[in-house]
Amino acid sequence: MEPTRSRALHQMCGTIMNVSCTTTSRPRHKIFFQTSTGWYTETVPSNRMALSLRSSIHSEVAWSLDRLCRLCHNEHFVLKTIPGLIDALFEWPEWYVSEGYKAGNEARILFSPPPEFSRQRLFALESLFVLRNSSLNEQNAWEIYNHSHTLPIILNALQNLDAEREENIEFILYCVDLMNTIPSKIILNSLKPNPLPPLLQIASQTKDRSLIIASLTALTCILSNPPNASAITSTSPALGASIQYLPLVVDKPLIDACLNYLYTHISHVSMARAFLLHPEMPRVLKLLVNVLIAEQPSLQEKVTLDVTGSIQTVPSGHLSTRNHELTKEELDALNEFPEPQRCYDWYVSVGTEGCFKFIFEQQDANYVRCKTGRSRNPSGFLESVQGHLYALHRKISLARGVGCYQKR
């Protein structure tokens, strides 16, 4: 117990000294940040997280990975700012995909694996977890893309690990997710081992939902690259898996992965022609229509449009009055008088009310009011009355063969 106690005291003293050195050169308002996280995130070669991760001391490695798993969710965490950290993160995953998985397979035959092996496997899994989450940051994704160990770890994991074993599912899932950061590097004709057969097997045979989504997404990225278009076949197991999972319309991530792969598969002319002869093609069309119908309520927008406008009504009845027509006796009596007495007598014979009704019916209702006799345009009203009287007088005079009244 004594060596362990002395080593713990030595680490504590080193921590306190490191904190004091970092906080004296910083402003006072940043003391809490420096004492909590800043002292082990310093961008120096002697960073404790990087050194602890490469020390092979299990307690130190566990301490370093515990803090890295928390920091990798932060968008300000950049791998290249800590020298040697990304190389150290690849060490434990490389050990597991090359040698560690063999010990696990042998130990599982009769007994559970030893605690030391379980801890080392956890280190590999946590290191890959940090790389996978860090790749969501653009700067970290570029560093992982350019690193020489990224592609070998992914290929060896797909080739050596059994996706049907429960202890390998999470590790393979992280590797497949990490593959999405390097799709342009994967040229199937030049890679050995070829990652396509394991991915097709995972997509068609695994029962794990997350692994199905990850494998279909990876296949979509790989086969979307034009040099890999020749690897698409009409009997692809991934095509059958995508069609099989289409009825699960409530699972949006799974449906999106299936539809993206179907689109990539049918985008090629030869595959589109072959798909028209596929026995499942009618069922796929029905399922796609069901997917569209299921997504319509979320895409619909309520729009209110006023379509009333102005209302115009037509009177149900029309009251018409018949013009007064002079009899033969009245006309003969009027012809005996000279002008303008003849007109005055005509007014009397027709009747004042009937005369003005006849005149007002010929005029626009906007200018006169029949009941009151008042006009909105007096001068226009008088002119129209005079014109109508002249016209009527002319008709009567022509009918009787007498002279006309001259309009003044």
What value does the mean pLDDT of the chain take?
76
Q: What percent of the chain has pLDDT over 70?
A: 70
Per DSSP, the residues of 86-155 read HHHHHHHHHHIIIIIHHHHHHHTTTSPPPHHHHHHHHHHHHHHHHHHHHTTSHHHHHHHHH-TTHHHHHH
Dihedrals phi, psi of 307, to nearest 5 degrees: -115, 15
Neighbours of 60 (CB within 10 A): 17
pLDDT for position 27: 37
pLDDT for position 326: 74
CA dist 172 and 177 (Å) reads 9
Higher model confidence: residue 383 or residue 334? 334
pLDDT in tens, 152-181: 999 999 999 988 888 889 999 999 999 888
pLDDT for position 322: 65
Which of 73, 121, 76 is closest to 95 using CA atoms? 121
- pTM of the full predicted structure? 0.61
CA dist 128 and 157 (Å) reads 12
Report helix, strand and coil shares of the chain as percent, to nearest 5. 65, 0, 30
Residue 140, classified by CB atoms within 10 Å of its CB into exposed (0-12), middle (13-18) or buried (19+), is buried
Neighbours of 219 (CB within 10 A): 30
**pLDDT (average), residues 366-377:** 46
pLDDT for position 338: 81
Q: Of 190-199, 319-328, 361-370, which has the strongest mean pLDDT?
A: 190-199
CA dist 114 and 137 (Å) reads 36
Among 112-121, 301-310, 317-326, the least confident range:
317-326
Does the pLDDT of residue 140 top 50, yes or no?
A: yes
pLDDT for position 125: 93
Contacts of 72 (CB under 8 A, 6+ apart): 129, 130, 133, 134
Does the pLDDT of residue 366 top 50, yes or no?
A: no
pLDDT for position 201: 92
pLDDT in tens, 207-216: 899 999 999 9
pLDDT for position 390: 65
Q: Are 221 and 181 in contact (CB under 8 A)?
A: no
Residue whose tokens read 């800590």: 82
Q: How far is CA 124 from CA 41, 157, 171, 310, in A?
A: 21, 12, 8, 76
pLDDT for position 29: 35
Among 83-97, 142-156, 314-328, the least confident range:
314-328
Assess whether the previous peptide bond of 247 is cis (omega < 30° from 0).
Answer: no
pLDDT for position 388: 61
- Tokens for 19? 């904190």
Q: Of 12-21, 24-33, 258-267, 386-395, which has the strongest mean pLDDT?
A: 258-267
pLDDT in tens, 10-59: 443 444 334 333 333 333 333 333 344 566 677 777 888 889 888 889 99
Q: Are 67 and 77 in contact (CB under 8 A)?
A: no
pLDDT for position 30: 35
**pLDDT (average), residues 68-86:** 86
pLDDT for position 130: 93
Collapsed DSSP state (helix, strand, coil) of residue 69: helix
Among 16-25, 66-75, 257-266, 275-284, the least confident range:
16-25
pLDDT for position 329: 82
Does the pLDDT of residue 4 top 50, yes or no?
A: no
pLDDT for position 113: 75
CA dist 93 and 144 (Å) reads 14
Contacts of 202 (CB under 8 A, 6+ apart): 163, 172, 176, 211, 212, 215
Neighbours of 341 (CB within 10 A): 11
Q: Which alpha helices (H) appear in 149-246, and where do they start and end?
A: 150-160, 166-179, 196-205, 209-223, 237-245
